[in-house]
Amino acid sequence: MRSYAAKCAWHKGRRGLKGQFMGRLSELGGLLHEEHFRIVVWLGDLKNHPFVTPIPQGGGQSLQEERQGLRHLLEGLDAFSQHDAFEEETLFPLIAEQCLPRTVNYLHREHAKINTTVAKLRSLVVSRLQRRGDATVCAQIMQAANDFYRELFDHLAREEDLIIQRLRSLLDPETDSRLVCEHFARPLFALRAVG
């Protein structure tokens, strides 16, 4: 794992690599936009991958494959929680203080709702990994995963419009750059593909 300073230097070196769209974003906006993209890709995997089957059958996934998929889901939930914590603890308070308290309050309520779904999904997955549960638990996991997908996909689109696209005007360049380095002090949302 790279050091905090190395991560900051690496990101700052990428400034020249931004495309036309990314060039309109602040440094932090570009980083969070990229992270949102990774989340959307992971959500696509979540939506299209059957993490659970009631009873592994000849043509279905094996118990080992199911457990691997469920562990991947837990890794993704952990990574999302880290992303969410940065926004809640660092970015949102600063923006609320600056000029957007209503927007931040709205996004905070969305985060709370999503985090409730995450907690439910995590509990169901842990239960399934401990081999407690039957077809009902499988159905509950899939329903909670679908709820999470829907809630988070909609939320990310709103967050992009309301915050990410506007960070250049909301934060001065020094604060923006400092937040990039603070963000690199946390683990990044970097997930491998399912399957």
- Read off the pLDDT of residues 90-106 as tens digits, 9 standing for 90 and up: 999 998 887 778 889 99
Q: Pick 135 or 54 by higher pLDDT.
A: 135
Confidence of residue 177 (pLDDT cuts 50, 70, 90): very high
What average pLDDT is seen over the chain? 80
What is the residue-wise DSSP string for 55-101? S--TTS--HHHHHHHHHHHHHHHHHHHHHHHHIIIIIHHHHHHHT-H
Q: Which amino acid is at 175?
A: T
Whether residue 5 has pLDDT greater than 60: no
Whether residue 166 has pLDDT greater than 50: yes
Task: Give residue limits of the domains in the chain.
Answer: 4-11+33-51+63-184
pLDDT score at 168: 93
Confidence of residue 192 (pLDDT cuts 50, 70, 90): very low
Cα–Cα distance for residue pair 181/183, rounded to 1 Å? 5
Whether residue 42 has pLDDT greater than 50: yes
Cα–Cα distance for residue pair 52/66, rounded to 1 Å? 6
In CATH, 4-11+33-51+63-184 is 1.20.120.520: yes
What is the residue-wise DSSP string for 123-156? HHHHHHHTT---HHHHHHHHHHHHHHHHHHHHHH
pLDDT score at 64: 81
pLDDT score at 21: 46
